[in-house]
Chain A
Amino acid sequence: MNSQSDAVPESFDSQGSAPAALSATRPFYWSVRRELWEYRSIYLAPLAAAAVYLIGFLISLIRLPEKIRAAAGVDPAKLRAAIVMPYEFAAGLIMVTTLIVAVFYCLDTLHGERRDRSILFWKSMPVSDMTTVLSKAIIPVVVLQLVAFAVTFATQWIMLMLSSVVVLGSGLSVATLWRQVSLFEMSWMLLGHLLIMHGLWYAPVYAWLLLVSAWARRGALLWAVLPWLAIFAVEKVAFNTSYFAAMMGRHFGGSGQGGASQGMSPIIGVQFSSLGSPGFWIGLVFAAIFLAAAVRLRRYREPI
C-alpha cells in the first residue's frame, strides 16, 4: 500500500518521545473510563435489577419467621432450600442482567461511534485502535463481572441484614439463618464463576459481537446470529447431523464446566479445573482472532 518504509527521521522521533512520560496504560485507563461514561447501563442495569429484587424480597420477608418455624423440625435440606434459595436467585438475576447488558454493549459500541460520527473525534486523539478495542473488550470480560459481583455481594448482605432484623423482631434466634447463609463462601464461588465462566469462557462471544459491531453497517444483531444459524442449517441439511450446535452447546451451555444453570452449587474447584480444558483455550484463541480482526476493521472504518 504505502511505498515508503524508511525510518522516522531523528528530529521528529526525539520530539515525539519527549512527553512520553505518559505511560502506555493511561490511554487504556481513560478509554475504559470513557466507556463507563457512555454506557451507564453497565452499572445502572445491575443496580436496578438488585433494587427490584430487594423490593420483592422485602415483601417476602413477612413470611420468613413462619417458614423458619415450619422447617425447624424437619429436613435440614428443605430448611436450607427455603432460606438460601433467595440469595442464589438474587445472584442469578443480576448475572442474567449483566449478560444481557454485555451482549448489547458489545453489539453497539463499535457501531455507535461510527453512527454518531464520534469515531472522528476519538481517532483525533493519540489512542491506537488496539487500545480502543481492548478497552472495549475488557468491559464484558472483567468490568461487568466485577460490577455484577459487587452488586450481588451488597444485595446479599442487605438481604441478610433485613432477614436478621425480621427474625429478631419475631423473637427467633438468628443463629439458624446465619448458619445456613454463608455469604463469604458464596461470594468467593460467585466471583470465580463470574470471572471464569461469564468473563473468560464467554470471551469469544463478546469478541465476535465486537467484531460484528465494527463491521456491520446496520442490523448488527442479525449479522451476529445469522452466520451461526447458517452453519447449523447447512450441517443439518447436508449431513442431517448437528455436531456444530452440540459443540456450541457444550462450550457455552456449561454442562461440562459447572454451568450457569446450576446456579451457585458447583464448587469452585470445578471452575478452576475447567481452565485446563482445551476448549477453554481454543475459545480464547478465537477471541483473540476476532479482536485482532476488529482492531483492523476499526482502522479502515469511517462514519456510517
Chain B
Amino acid sequence: MSVIEARGLRKAFGTTVALDGIDLRIDEGRIVGLIGPNGAGKTTALNAILGLVPYQGELRVLGRDPWTERDQLMRDVSFIADVAVLPRWIKVSQVLEYVAGVHPRFDRGKAEGFLAKTDIRSGSRVRELSKGMVTQLHLAVVMAIDARLLVLDEPTLGLDILYRKQFYDSLLSDYFDRSRTIVVATHQIEEVQHVLTDLMFIDRGRIVFSCSMDEFELRYVEVMVRPEQVVAARALGPMHERQALGRSILLFDRGVNQKLDRQQLAALGEVRTPSIADLFVAVLCNKPGNLAGGAQGVAR
C-alpha cells in the first residue's frame, strides 16, 4: 500500500515553477530522504503533501486529497516544519493539554515520558527554552502521536551536533517501526545516511534520482585511484570524478556498467561505498535527463 502517491504534481508561484511534474510513490515502512539544493522544491513538495499549498496534478496521501481534507489527514500525519513553529507564548503543559484535546491519537503519558528524559519543565514557556529544547519538545509531542506518516522538513536546522544526533537516534529507537513512514528533507545528508531506507534527489522541481539504500550500496562504488591507474580507470566510464588530497576519486555506477565488479575496481585503487553527498554532487553535475537510474522516482 502506498502512503504517498503523486502523478504530474505541479506548482508554480507566479512564473517561478517550484514543482515541475513530479511522479512519486512512497510505500509504508520506508524512511525516505528528500535531498536537494536550496530552492529545488523540497519544501513545496512537502507542503503539498501536507495540504498547506494548493497544487496541480494528482496527489494522494493515505488515500486522501491533502488540500481538501487537511484536517482529516492530520489525524494520521504528523509533521515538524522546522525548529521554530511552536508558539513562543505557550507553556509546555499547555502544548500537551492542547494536543491531547484536539488529537485523537495523542498519548499524553507517552509524551510526558519522553519529556522526563530531558531538562524541559512543564511550567516553562517555549520562549524560555533553548532552540534544541524546543525541538525536543516538538519531537516528544510528535512521537507520542500514533501517526502513519511523519514529515520532517529540516528538523535539525540550527541545532548543535549533540541535539542533531539525539534527534535521529530517538526517532529510530523510540518511534520508527515498520508500519510507519517517514519523509525527511534535509541538507545535512551525512547524518541521515544511516537512517534512511530510500533516497530521492530533487532539483529544479523534478525528481532527478531515486533508489533504495540497499540498491545504493550495491550499485555505486567509489574508487580512490592510484595515480598510475587513472587513465585505465577513466576508460571504464565513471559517472563522476573529483580530486581529493592529490588523488582522483572516481564514482562508478555498476547499474550502467554491469561488467564492473569490485575485484576489477580494487585493482585500480581503494574501493568504498560513496557517501550520499558524493553521489548527490555526481548526479547534479551530470546533465539532468541522461541520468543513471532515470527520473521515474520510484522508491520501494
A interface list, Cβ under 8 A from B = 1-4, 8-9, 11-13, 15-16, 19-22, 26-27, 29-31, 33-34, 37-38, 113, 116-118, 120-121, 123-129, 131, 299-300, 302
Does residue B284 face the partner (Cβ distance < 8 Å to A)? Answer: no
The 9 A-B pairs of least Cβ separation, nearest first, read A30-B101, A12-B63, A118-B87, A19-B104, A128-B71, A126-B74, A120-B81, A120-B85, A9-B63
CB contact between A37 and one of B55, B58, B65, B94 (< 8 Å): that residue: B94
Residues of A contacting B79 in the complex (Cβ-Cβ under 8 angstroms): 124
Q: What residue of chain B has the Cβ atom nearest to residue A113's Cβ?
A: B87
Interface string of B43-71 (1 = CB under 8 A from A): 00001001111111111101111011111
Does the CB pair B102–A127 fall under 8 Å?
A: yes
A1 to B71, CA, bound (A): 19
Does the CB pair A38–B90 fall under 8 Å?
A: yes
Given A37-B90, A38-B90, A300-B54: A4 touches B60 (CB 8 Å cut-off): yes
CB contact between B105 and one of A8, A19, A117, A302 (< 8 Å): that residue: A19
9 contacts between A and B (CB under 8 A): A4-B58, A8-B64, A16-B76, A29-B101, A113-B87, A118-B87, A123-B70, A124-B79, A127-B102
Residues of B contacting A19 in the complex (Cβ-Cβ under 8 angstroms): 75, 104-105
Does the CB pair B53–A302 fall under 8 Å?
A: yes
Does the CB pair A31–B63 fall under 8 Å?
A: no
CB contact between B52 and one of A11, A12, A302 (< 8 Å): that residue: A302
Residues of A contacting B97 in the complex (Cβ-Cβ under 8 angstroms): 30
Does the CB pair B104–A22 fall under 8 Å?
A: yes
Q: What residue of chain B has the Cβ atom nearest to residue A119's Cβ?
A: B85
B interface list, Cβ under 8 A from A = 1, 47, 50-60, 62-65, 67-76, 78-81, 84-91, 94, 97-99, 101-105, 138
Does the CB pair B86–A118 fall under 8 Å?
A: yes
Does the CB pair B76–A33 fall under 8 Å?
A: no
CB contact between B57 and one of A3, A22, A124, A300 (< 8 Å): that residue: A3
Residues of B contacting A22 in the complex (Cβ-Cβ under 8 angstroms): 104
Given A121-B85, A124-B78: A2 touches B67 (CB 8 Å cut-off): yes
CB distance from B10 to the nearest CB of A (A): 11
Does the CB pair A126–B101 fall under 8 Å?
A: no
CB distance from A243 to the nearest CB of B (A): 40
A127 to B98, CA, bound (A): 11
Given A21-B104, A33-B98, A34-B98, 16 other A-B residues pairs in contact with their CB atoms under 8 A: A2-B56, A4-B58, A4-B59, A8-B63, A8-B64, A12-B64, A26-B101, A29-B101, A30-B97, A30-B101, A30-B102, A33-B101, A118-B86, A118-B87, A121-B138, A127-B102
Residues of B contacting A33 in the complex (Cβ-Cβ under 8 angstroms): 98, 101
A120 to B153, CA, bound (A): 11
Q: What residue of chain A has the Cβ atom nearest to residue B66's Cβ?
A: A2
Residues of A contacting B51 in the complex (Cβ-Cβ under 8 angstroms): 123
A120 to B86, CA, bound (A): 8
A131 to B101, CA, bound (A): 14
Does the CB pair A20–B104 fall under 8 Å?
A: yes
Does the CB pair A116–B87 fall under 8 Å?
A: yes
Does the CB pair B52–A123 fall under 8 Å?
A: yes
CB distance from B3 to the nearest CB of A (A): 10
Given A2-B65, A30-B101, A120-B85: A126 touches B58 (CB 8 Å cut-off): no
CB contact between B58 and one of A2, A12, A125 (< 8 Å): that residue: A2
Does the CB pair A4–B65 fall under 8 Å?
A: yes
Does the CB pair B87–A38 fall under 8 Å?
A: yes
A289 to B51, CA, bound (A): 24
Residues of A contacting B99 in the complex (Cβ-Cβ under 8 angstroms): 125
A20 to B104, CA, bound (A): 7
Residues of A contacting B50 in the complex (Cβ-Cβ under 8 angstroms): 123-124
Does the CB pair B104–A126 fall under 8 Å?
A: yes
Residues of A contacting B58 in the complex (Cβ-Cβ under 8 angstroms): 2-4
Residues of B contacting A121 in the complex (Cβ-Cβ under 8 angstroms): 81, 85-87, 138
A19 to B72, CA, bound (A): 12
Residues of B contacting A15 in the complex (Cβ-Cβ under 8 angstroms): 76
Residues of B contacting A34 in the complex (Cβ-Cβ under 8 angstroms): 94, 98
Does the CB pair B102–A126 fall under 8 Å?
A: yes
Does the CB pair B70–A16 fall under 8 Å?
A: no
Does the CB pair A27–B75 fall under 8 Å?
A: no
CB contact between B68 and one of A2, A21, A117 (< 8 Å): that residue: A2
Residues of B contacting A2 in the complex (Cβ-Cβ under 8 angstroms): 54-59, 65, 67-68
A116 to B81, CA, bound (A): 13
CB distance from B155 to the nearest CB of A (A): 12
Does the CB pair B72–A127 fall under 8 Å?
A: no
Residues of B contacting A13 in the complex (Cβ-Cβ under 8 angstroms): 63
CB distance from B149 to the nearest CB of A (A): 12
A123 to B86, CA, bound (A): 11
Does the CB pair B75–A16 fall under 8 Å?
A: yes
CB contact between B72 and one of A3, A11, A16, A113 (< 8 Å): that residue: A16
Does the CB pair A1–B63 fall under 8 Å?
A: no
Residues of B contacting A16 in the complex (Cβ-Cβ under 8 angstroms): 72, 75-76
CB distance from A173 to the nearest CB of B (A): 51
CB contact between B88 and one of A1, A116, A123, A128 (< 8 Å): that residue: A116
